[in-house]
Amino acid sequence: MNSRADDILVEEIMTKTPIIGDPEMTVQDAAKLMKAEKVGSIVIAQDGEAIGIITERDLVNKIVAENKIPSKVKVKEIMSSPLITVGPKESVSSAAKKMSTLKVRRLPVVKQGKLIGILTENDILKLSPSLIEITREWARIRSQTSANASNTRLAEGYCDSCGSYSNELRMHEGQLLCSSCYDQLS
């Protein structure tokens, strides 16, 4: 396996057997399944198509915090939908940025409309513990960038365009660019 996250594809590190649930199951049954399988989420599928996801966060925010009875609530009532997905041929770096930007910890992996796996922060951590922190920093920088901040030094890391390492990355149209790539745009 290549050492750079830009060169590693999602399909190389994803969990190939995501736990799947039915939208008609109760939240209690979903929680029991999550416990039995030792996972933090279940992809919800109907007629073979992934339509949503239920996570530990959903259980806390939509059931416990709302004082609802898990055995009386259907998964379809609290699942996160529409589903945010990633393709198997996308780079791990790109998927991690997507996770960070959208503030999700799991991305179902879909190929030609079919669920083939799930990519989690834990999968990325196994590859490179620092990648999670790098993508969180990238999201922080991106959110702090204003229109006139594009000329200032923002961060250090790998250029989103050429892949070279730079300690003077600049934001341009949602990408962190080294000086050379940034100057080519001028």
Q: What integer best gives the mean pLDDT of the chain?
A: 82
Residue 108 has pLDDT above 70, yes or no: yes
133 in any annotated domain: no
- Per-residue pLDDT band for 186 (boundaries 50, 70, 90) equals low
Q: How far apart are CA 103 and CA 41, in angstroms?
A: 15
pLDDT, residue 183, reads 86
Q: Are 34 and 105 found together in one domain? A: yes
Does residue 107 share a domain with residue 30? yes
From CA 182, how far away is CA 169, in angstroms rounded?
A: 9
Check residues 110 and 125 and name the one with the higher pLDDT: 110
Instruction: Give percent of the chain above pLDDT 70.
Output: 79
**Within a domain: 2:** no
Please indicate, yes or no, if residue 137 is contained in any of the structural domains: no
- Our count of domains for the chain comes to 2
Range of the structural domain that residue 167 is part of: 148-185
CA–CA distance, 7 with 19 (Å, rounded to integer): 27
Q: Which helix (H) or strand (E) holds 157?
A: strand 155-158
In a domain, 22, yes or no: yes
What pLDDT sits at residue 13? 93
Instruction: Provide the CB-side half-sphere exposure for 165 (13 A, CA).
Output: 1
Give the residue among 135, 133, 141 at the shortest CA–CA distance from 170: 141
Contact 96, 5 (CB under 8 A): yes
For residue 111, the Cα-to-chain-centroid distance in whole angstroms is 16
User: Residues 33-42: pLDDT tens digits?
Assistant: 999 999 999 9
pLDDT score at 28: 97
pTM comes to: 0.67
Mean pLDDT of 54-81: 95
CATH of the domain at 44: 3.10.580.10
- Condensed to tens digits (0 to 9), the pLDDT of residues 135-168 reads 666 666 655 554 334 444 456 666 777 877 777 7
